[in-house]
Amino acid sequence: MENCKLNCKTHIQSCLVSCFFCVSFLSYLADVDECDKDATVCGPNANCTNSIGSYICTCFPGFRLNNPGVIASVSNPCTDIDECSETPGICGRQTVCTNVPGTFYCSCPDGFYPSTGIVWTLGVSFCKSLQEILDEIKPPEGQTKERAFLGNMNQQLKDNTGIILPEPTVANSFSASMEVSGVGPRARSIRVSSEGDGETGSVILGISDRLVSAMVQPGQNQTKRTVKSPTVDLSLETIGPGSNNAESSSLSAKGNIMEINLESLAKNNNGSAAAAFMTLNGMESLLSHQYFETENRTEMYSDVITAVLPSMNNTNLTEPVNFTIHHKKTLTESGLVTCVYWEDKTEETGMGDGSEKGGEKTKTMRWSVEGCWVAFTNENYTVCSCSHLSTFALIMQIGEPPPEDPFLEWLNRICVIVGLFFFGLAILTFLLCSWNPKINNTARLHLCLSLSLSHLLLLWNDKYVEEELACTVMAGLLHFLVVASFVWMLLEALQLYLLVRRLSKVQVIQRDGLPRPLLYLIGYGVPFVIVGTSALVYSDGYGATEADVCWLSRQRNFNWALTGPVIAVLGLNWILFCATLWSLRPTLANMKSDVSQSKDTRLIVFKIVAQFVILGCTWILGLYQTNLFFQVLFIILNSQQGTFLFIVHCVLNKEVREEYVKWLTCSFNKHREGGSVKDAPSVSEDMDKAEERTG
């Protein structure tokens, strides 16, 4: 019985033990994995770890709980720590701190660059001025500091594939690249020649590729991002597996648009694809239109735009990409817009490791038309379709003007030089005669000065087309001189008219005509106001034109800034001319009565008509240079303005002739001492005569 009891006891004991294990096992089996059951149990940004009967939530690095006493959940989620505002100066002085979910980035403001280059090491890196960095660079033999800087940046990007860069760092790197290359909005002085600098441009394009790739995280889902700074305007779009995409995506940069079928690209790249589209300010100075080989004259007509497919293995396009590119200027009908892409076959080799061979690189660097065509164009924009991606631009081809006739050019040069010679003689004469109170030459002298200077400038005009500032100044100066010549011409006609009227009314008033200060004020003040106003209203109107000269642009009817005043002056001149003739009417009517007097009067009329025709009407001829006859006539008449003025005002002027004779016979001084100078000052000898007659 006792035995039985004991047996029973152990039995119950073991039974209980097994029951305990049984229950534990069952309860273990029954334990719910909260983490698996509800993935959002910890809320966002937290890792969930299951334990028996419970679970632990751990915030991701860079996140923390607002209320640390309570376990993370949707209502008490882990939130991002804003390191930048919580720890001011975490990056160091003069830095830009960018907080992103989970972490933060340090970058430099424009004009500075991290001391450790692209990769920022916390506590080590600091921002240095670009100049300081350039000064410290010891470039390899035969390389400039600027190129060594770009080479270092490129190499660092190559050595750190997979690095993720935040937008401010990308923007800063672009800005630094452009600034050291001497282009872009921050460049202090443009160091690039007008031929451009394709090598530097290509290096920067290589850097751009890597920088854009560094913005794309692997396995990134659907995103759209932009980088906007004075230097760069970039937009980036990525799609991942499972994202819902429209058939084609459109990206924009500085008003230009790229349409690309990312979906079909993603199909060839395991479901994900990325495309970036950007413009870099100043790139057109590096990749200049001079790299486009054609017999035609060319002009860059758009921003240089760059399309990149970052971090993708198969970049074969299944359908063409379309670029809607804005024209920088309104299209003129005479030109041919061409879509071009930057072809640089050796871009990848050489840079950064010092093994580049400059000579070989230049051979393959050019703007090419292969695989790109104009799909649509109007005056404001052009749509280019391209079967590949690269760097693109629009180049305007302006049909070469008919090759300059060597005969005409030769004739023009000779004529202008002869004309200038007589201008010189006339000016010299007027200056030497200016002491003579009988001869008031102010208007004539300044007419000659303005005209001869404008002829002189026209001789060199086409040499400055490439230099923007010089060309603008040249065009402005020419505009000023031409308007001034016309105003002085008007003043001369006005003086003549006043005199003739005065004579016919037999009045003795101030004989000098208009006072000199007033003449100067009008003669140079009016053109100054016209040019100043024009420059203020539309300063880009001055510069190189399609005809390859520095002159007024035809855009926005800017040439009316000259045509308007000229027409006004010619009209006023015509009125004055008629009025002068009217005043001379009595003398003309008496023509037969006094032979010598009528001869003089006819001389006056001849001079007025001739001056009006030669100075005023040659410009009209200039508009009709259609055939050789008119061209030759224009060249001769226009260039001989000086000769003409010399003949009319010096050779045909008795007073001046007398002066010449005096100088030639060296009796000049003696004569003057004799004091036999007539005391009747007048506008000209002719007028003296008229005065003697009428008075």
Ligand X SMILES: *[C@@H]1O[C@H](CO)[C@@H](O)[C@H](O)[C@H]1NC(C)=O
CB of 260 to ligand X, least distance (A): 5
399, 515, 571, 586: residue in contact with ligand X (rule CB under 6 A): 399
143, 226, 252, 296: residue in contact with ligand X (rule CB under 6 A): 296
CB of 45 to ligand X, least distance (A): 9
397, 461, 553, 639: residue in contact with ligand X (rule CB under 6 A): 397
Is 374 near ligand X (CB under 6 A)?
no
Which residues are within 8 A (CB) of 198 and not within 5 positions of it... i.e. 6 or more apart? 286, 287, 288, 291, 344, 362, 365
150: three-class secondary structure by DSSP: helix
CB 490 within 8 A of CB 522: no
Q: What angle do CA 409, 412, 418 make, to 5 degrees?
A: 145
321, 389, 487, 493: residue in contact with ligand X (rule CB under 6 A): 321
CB of 342 to ligand X, least distance (A): 18
Pairing of strands 127-129, 232-239: unpaired
Is 217 near ligand X (CB under 6 A)?
no
Q: Name the residue nearer to ligand X (CB basis): 185 or 241.
A: 241
State the Cα–Cα distance between residues 395 and 372, nearest whole angstrom: 12
Is 375 near ligand X (CB under 6 A)?
yes
CB 659 within 8 A of CB 433: yes
Distance (Å) of CA 685 to CA 253, 346, 481, 674: 70, 77, 28, 21
Is 257 near ligand X (CB under 6 A)?
no
Is 588 near ligand X (CB under 6 A)?
no
State the Cα–Cα distance between residues 546 and 399, nearest whole angstrom: 10
DSSP label of 91:
S
Q: Which residues pair with 618 in a beta bridge?
A: none
Is 77 near ligand X (CB under 6 A)?
no
120: three-class secondary structure by DSSP: coil
State the Cα–Cα distance between residues 444 and 422, nearest whole angstrom: 14
The residue range among 142-150, 280-288, 293-301, 444-452 that interacts with ligand X, by the rule CB under 6 A, is 293-301
Is 241 near ligand X (CB under 6 A)?
yes
Is 259 near ligand X (CB under 6 A)?
yes
Residues in contact with ligand X, counted by CB under 6 A, come to a total of 34
Q: Could you tell me the two tokens for 140?
A: 């390899």
State the Cα–Cα distance between residues 38 and 284, nearest whole angstrom: 56
CB 587 within 8 A of CB 597: yes
115, 143, 222, 245: residue in contact with ligand X (rule CB under 6 A): 222
378, 510, 593, 627: residue in contact with ligand X (rule CB under 6 A): 378
State the Cα–Cα distance between residues 221 and 242, nearest whole angstrom: 8
Q: Name the residue nearer to ligand X (CB basis): 60 or 538.
A: 60
For 196-221, letters b (16+ CB in 10 Å) and e give: bbbbbbbbbbbbbbbbbbbbbeeebe
Is 223 near ligand X (CB under 6 A)?
no
Mark out the alpha helices in 434-509 (DSSP H runs): 442-460, 468-504
CB of 49 to ligand X, least distance (A): 6
Q: Name the residue nearer to ligand X (CB basis): 309 or 584.
A: 309
Q: Name the residue nearer to ligand X (CB basis): 85 or 334.
A: 334
Is 260 near ligand X (CB under 6 A)?
yes
State the Cα–Cα distance between residues 655 and 426, nearest whole angstrom: 14
89, 242, 402, 517: residue in contact with ligand X (rule CB under 6 A): 242
Pairing of strands 273-280, 550-552: unpaired
Q: Name the residue nearer to ligand X (CB basis): 173 or 261.
A: 261
353, 379, 404, 658: residue in contact with ligand X (rule CB under 6 A): 379
The amino acid that residue 197 corresponds to is D
245, 252, 269, 694: residue in contact with ligand X (rule CB under 6 A): 269
Return the residues of window 35-74 that contact ligand X according to CB under 6 A: 47, 60
End-to-end CA distance of the chain: 176
Is 442 near ligand X (CB under 6 A)?
no
Is 627 near ligand X (CB under 6 A)?
no
Closest CA to 377 of 302, 306, 305: 302
Is 294 near ligand X (CB under 6 A)?
yes
The residue range among 278-286, 314-322, 508-516, 654-662 that interacts with ligand X, by the rule CB under 6 A, is 314-322
169, 311, 553, 611: residue in contact with ligand X (rule CB under 6 A): 311
Is 312 near ligand X (CB under 6 A)?
yes
CB of 348 to ligand X, least distance (A): 17
CB of 514 to ligand X, least distance (A): 46
Q: Could you tell me the two tokens for 403?
A: 């090759």
Is 313 near ligand X (CB under 6 A)?
yes
Distance of CA 284 to the CA centre of its chain: 9
Binding site for ligand X (CB under 6 A): 47, 60, 221-222, 240-243, 248, 259-261, 269-270, 294-296, 311-314, 316, 319-322, 336, 375, 378-380, 385, 397, 399
